[in-house]
Structure 1
Amino acid sequence: LQTASYNIFRGVRLGFSSTSNREELITGLDDNNVTENIASRVGRNLHLQPNHPLHTIKQKIETHFLTLHTSFETYSNLSPIVSTKNCFDDLLIPPSHVSRSPSDTYYISSTKCLRTHTSAHQSTLLKESKSKCFLCTGDVYRRDEIDRSHYPVFHQMEGVKLFEEGTHVSVIEDDLKKTLEGLTQELFGDVEMRWNTDYFPFTDPSWELEIYFNDEWLEVLGSGVIQPSIITNAGLTQPGWAFGLGLERLAMVLFKIPDIRLFWSKDERFLGQFDGGIVEFKPFSKYPSSDRDMSFWTGSQNFHSNDFAEIVRNCITEDIIESVTLIDEFTHPKTKEVSNCFRFTYRSMERSLTNEEIDRVHFKVRERAVEELGVVLR
C-alpha cells in the first residue's frame, strides 16, 4: 500500500554482479523499458546498509512491531523482479489502471517488471508466512517527475496482519488504527493525528494517517482492511489489515534531509553523519544552482512528462539535476499543437558544476528528446 499511487521467500541477498544485473534487466525485448540508470540501482539495498537513515527507520519500525503481542515475521531482501500478476492482478488493479502504463512502470517483459510497491509480495507471503503477520521492506521502482522529493527508486514497507476467521471488520479497524497510532507515536512522539478515508483497489475500507508536525499536516501512511477476494485467492479464509509507508518520506522529515538524491550519495560527508540513531542532517555544503530552459512542440497526444523525465535521467551519469519543472504550456489556437517549456535546475549535492558540463548535458537531452519522443524544438 502506498497512498501516492496504486501503490519469495525469506531474504536471500541479491547476488547479481553489475553485468548479470544488466543482462537480466535490459533484455532488448519490445516491452522492456528498464534503463541503464535504473539497472545500476538494483542491488544497492540502501535499507540494508548499517547506519544509513533508511536502515535506521526500518530498524525502528521492526523493533516496535517486535514489542507487540503478535509475532511479526520480517522480510527485507526479496528480489525486486516480480511478475505482473503479483504486482497488479493479485491486488485487483485493473488492466486499464494508469499505474500499469509503461510511462509509470519499468517492464522487463510483458509478464515481469520491477515492483512498483512492496505489496507485490503480499499474495505470496500470505501463503508462505507461518504467523500470517509480516513486514516486508524493499526498493520499489516507478517512472516519475524530477524534483527534491521524487526519485524513480525509493523504499517501502508493507505490513499485514490476519485475524481469526469471522472477526468483525470493526475489530480489525480498531486494531489497525491502534497499532499504527502506536507506531507513529514511537517515531514522532506525542503528535496530533487524524485519519482520512481513502481508496485503494486492494483494501476496503481504506484510510490514510496524517500527523500535525512542524506546523503542517503530513501524510504518514496508507492502510485498510484487505479485500476478501485477495485472501480467498491466497487459499485463506481469515480477514486482516494491511498498511504501507515510504521510508524516504519519513526519513526526510525525521532527519531533516532536504533532497531525496542524498540517500544515494556515497560521500562520507553524508554517510558519516549517521550512527544508527535519528540525528538532524547537517548540510556539508550548498553548491550553486544553474537554470536552463527547454521549449518544444510535443508533436503527439501521447507525450507523457514521465517519459521526458526518463530521458533526462538517462543523459546524466550522476545526480546533477535538482528539478525539471513545467513553467509554461501553450496550445496553438489554430493547429491545436501543444508547446511545453521546462525549466531545468542543475545542482550537484557534492561539488560545483561548470557551465560547460551543464551545457553538454542540456544539449544531449535536447537531442534525445527529438530522437525518442519526436518533439520539435523551439
Structure 2
Amino acid sequence: MPFNLLKYGLSSEYPVEVDLPAPKELKPSYDVVIIGGGGHGLATAYYLAKYHGITNIAVLEKAYLGGGNTARNTAVIRSNYLTSEGVKFYAESVRLFEGLSNEFDFNIMYSHRGQLTLAHTDATVRSFRQRAEVNKHFGGRTEMIDRQQIRELVPSLNLDPGHLPVLAGLWHMDGATARHDAVAWGYAKQAAKRGVEIHQLTEVQELVIENGAITAVKTNRGTIRCGCAVQAIAGHSSLMMAKAGIRSPIQTFPLQAMVTQPFKPFLDPLVSSSALHCYVQQTSRGEVVFGGGSDPYPLFNTRSTLDLKESLLAHAIEMFPFLANAKLMRQWAGITDMTPDYSPIMGLSPVKNYYLDAGWGTWGFKATPICGKTMAELVASGGKVPELIKPFGLARFSTFKQVNEMGATAASH
C-alpha cells in the first residue's frame, strides 16, 4: 500500500480529479429545478440522478455551495426525538450517514460519539424514560443512565452545577458528528458526475406560476422553464414560499454558536442540558464547541451578540468549570426556520409541481441524507408522497395534525 501510494503520487500522469465542472450558462429549461445549493438540495439532486435516472437538473445557489445553514451548524447527528414519526425519520437518516463516505468515495469525517442529555429534575427524568422507550421501539438506540454511569462516561463533567444537580441522563448511542462542508461537497461531486448542473451565484428572484402550477423560475442570470421545482433553502423559507403565494407558518430566528482554542481530547460524547440551555462537544481538532437556544426574537440575520455569548458560556462553565480559562476563537450564527410544532415541512404545496423542503429549525443537517432520498422519491413519482414524510406535510397546520417535537432539541428553544 505505501509503495503504491508513492508510485501514484510521483507518476507523471497524476490523475488530478476535479470535484465540480467549470461553470456554464443556464439552459432554457430543465426537468427539475432545485432552489438551494446546501446539503438538502444537493442530496435531492444526487438521489434523483443515481437512483431515479433523472439528470436534467439545475441546482441554483445564490451564493456558494453549502454556504448557508449547512456551513453554520454544529454538525450533530442523532435520532433521539419525541414522536414515533420523528424517531423513524431521523433513525433512517443516521443509518444513511453511516455509509456516506463509502457511497461517495469521499471522506465526510463521520465520527460515532454518542450523545448524553442531562436531567436535572424529577419531571425531566420521567419524560426521558418515556423518550427512551419511544426511541427503542422505533429504531433508535437510547437508554436511561444514572449518575455513576454519567461520571464514568464523562469524568470531567460537573454533576452538581449550582442549584441544578444532575439526577440522570439520556444516553443516545447513535449520536455522531460529520464535517458539514464535506457532506455538501460529497453530494455535489457525485451529482455533477451524473450530469446534474450546479449553478452558484444564481439567485432566484421570482417564481412563474400559470394555472396553479409552476412553469419557470426567474433568476439574476435569466429565466429558465422547469417541469417541477423543489424549494430547499434554509433561513429564508418563508420568503421563498411567499414568492409562490404560499402562506407560511414559519418564524425565523438567529441561532448562535462558538468555539474555543484546541485542547487535548477530553470529551468524546456530545453533552447537552436543556435546563442550562447549552450543549458542548469537542471536535476532532480538539476545539470545544458551545451551542444553545436560539435568540428570543425573529430576525433574518447571522450576526453574533455579546449577551448570548455571556449567558451561553456561563452555563457551559457550570458544566465544565475548568473551561473558564479557555480562549474563545470565533463565534457565528445561522438563521433557523421554526415551525409551531418544531417539525419540518416536507412534500406537496398548494402550487402544482412545487415541492417543499422547509421549516428545519435546528435539526436540518442531521436530516440531510433521508431528506434528499425522500424528496427525490417524491419528485420521481410525480407527487406521490413517501410514507416516511407524510406526517410533515404543510396541510397538517390546517387539519391540526401537528407532530410536536418541542423539547426534543439538544437545548431548549
- TM-score of the pair, normalised by structure 2: 0.21
